[in-house]
Chains A and B, each alone.
Chain A
């Protein structure tokens, strides 16, 4: 079991390394930093000094190693757009805001989607199943930025219940979290439903009933234990989509989290911050996948022996 987790951890680190290569190459592709960082009327002498200082005259692989060495220490240079801020420091500053928003979105997703999916499977063909399917259709045919705007319009402008934008109180989190969770709820509920339906048809479910096991235990012990692997696998994707979803939604709600920083940094060609935010996203994504691996072991005891 420990070996399994170590293996997963090692492959995550490897993936992270590849991402640093990509991030590094992207910054090479998107034009010379000389153009981006120096004023247009810089003298040749200024340019030469800049190139030497930044190691731009070194071979590419050496530049990458320097970049990697700095990255490992969390050093991506200073922000160009927000003077005086270290790039990673600025991103880390915004991270708790994003984690709060993403965490609430995940919580809303799980609390609604799992019971809905299970109930839709157990009462297949009933009213609740049809409601779940209608909800899924609605969720998947609506882009989340659009939903975000609709929610602002209804709850902030029209009803005046919740703030339109910004950060500060729990109330600020509600609308953006719902906008992010909406699509995920329909996706996860559908997935849970189909996983449960498949498992509920299995012979071992019949055998549990033959033993005299109550319907409640049949569903929540025998079926869910086996069906859980599917939603759990999806949890990695869920975490990723909630992070990317937050990029869009944070902008819609002017919510100053990492996503908002990402968009602003791209707009301002602030490469150090863009690099820092991508790496930060990647690390969050990998940690959540490692968490999924850990949950796997708990749900599926057979891995312990493998």
Chain B
């Protein structure tokens, strides 16, 4: 496929997640394959509802109980299959080998515990030690995410901190056990632009320091351009394009990617977001015949409406793929 599987740290093959609701069932994660290497940042981009969070949660095996189930595929971390681990073994992976930064810094810390206790809890579970060592490592984690006066901050409650500071604490929890992979699910969406830029720089520095892989989920192609090495583009539960960021920006192979990129103001020197993509993605439970993007696609023809496009190489190198009939014809 698009990356060599041998040196992949996290390797996901044909992952399928089914959601069952009263209105019917559907696949918010439909046959996803991708991989990340150590030290690499993979962007996962798509509109809201395209299945980004579901993908992330299925890697952690923390899908909503009852509502969602993994229906097939494989998730390998360092060659070890995660989908067949027992819940107990999986708990040892969470927070230790793969950790995650959640979207909302306002609510992702427990208001009833000090931030120190919340960092320490992860350390205690995965790298136990004496009281003093734990305290030192807690302070160290805060220092690494550049929280000022960490010796004092350990005793603060989340309610006493700003949103940007809280998001740093969430970052400190994520890196505290030195995971190999961090999944960041739109970690900066609710932060203002300067705080957001600082946070992204911080993530990059931490990655340089530790060599961890980052899965960075966003709906903002501007951030992808800044931060990511490779990117996968999701639409209605499918990966519609994947490849190196530079290539995709230079020559997007899927009309949806093209539209997303032109919706990024900074890349074109425009002050405001001029292009939004007209129309809406299909409702999850809709039965889609043909290409799911066809109703919104300016290039759609009769075949697009009747037959689903296959996933094909977008160029000769093999690291850039897309699911679009136009790439088949090219």
Contact = CB atoms under 8 A, between A and B. Distances in A.
B229 interface: no
Given A202-B107, A222-B110, A207 B125 contact: no
Interface stretch (B7-15, B30-38, B95-103, B272-280): B95-103
B104 interface: yes
A29 interface: no
B268 interface: no
Nearest to A225: B112
Interface stretch (A130-138, A210-218, A234-242): A210-218
Contacts of B157: 301-302, 305
Interface string B51-93: 0000000001010001000000000000000000000000111
B21 interface: no
B125 A301 contact: no
A206 B56 CA distance: 12
B100 A210 contact: yes
Nearest to A209: B62
A300 interface: yes
Interface in B146-173: 157, 159-160, 170, 173
Nearest to A214: B91
A222 to B, nearest CB: 6
A211 B108 contact: no
Contact of B62 (A210, A214, A226): A210
A212 B66 contact: no
B248 to A, nearest CB: 29
A207 B102 contact: yes
Indicate the member of A125, A207, A211 with the most B CB atoms within 10 Å.
Answer: A211
A203 interface: yes
A174 interface: no
Nearest to B159: A302
B92 A207 contact: no
B310 interface: no
B121 interface: yes
Interface in B288-324: none
A226 B107 contact: no
Interface residues of A, number: 21
A208 interface: yes
Contacts of A207: 100, 102, 108-110, 170, 173
Contacts of A222: 110
Contacts of A161: none
Interface string B172-197: 01000000000000000000000000
A211 B110 contact: no
Contacts of B112: 225-226, 299-302
A204 interface: yes
B126 interface: yes
B102 A211 contact: no
Nearest to B99: A210
Contacts of B92: 212
B96 to A, nearest CB: 6
B128 interface: no
B94 interface: yes
B111 interface: yes
Contact of B94 (A203, A204, A209): A209
A135 to B, nearest CB: 23
Contacts of A208: 110, 121
B121 to A, nearest CB: 6
B82 to A, nearest CB: 13
B115 to A, nearest CB: 12
B62 A206 contact: yes
Interface in A164-218: 202-204, 206-214
B93 A212 contact: yes
A208 B122 CA distance: 9
A221 B67 CA distance: 25
Contacts of B108: 203-204, 206-207
A213 B119 CA distance: 12
B107 A211 contact: no
Interface in A254-306: 299-302, 305
Contacts of B100: 207, 210
A104 B108 CA distance: 40
27 contacts: A125-B66, A203-B103, A203-B107, A204-B108, A204-B109, A206-B62, A207-B102, A207-B173, A209-B60, A210-B94, A211-B95, A211-B122, A212-B91, A212-B92, A212-B95, A212-B122, A212-B125, A212-B126, A213-B91, A213-B121, A226-B110, A226-B111, A299-B112, A300-B112, A301-B112, A301-B157, A302-B111
Given A213-B125, A300-B112, A305-B160, 14 more contacts: A203-B107, A206-B62, A207-B109, A207-B170, A207-B173, A210-B62, A210-B95, A211-B99, A212-B92, A212-B96, A212-B125, A213-B121, A226-B111, A301-B157
Interface of B: 60, 62, 66, 91-96, 99-100, 102-104, 107-113, 121-122, 125-126, 157, 159-160, 170, 173
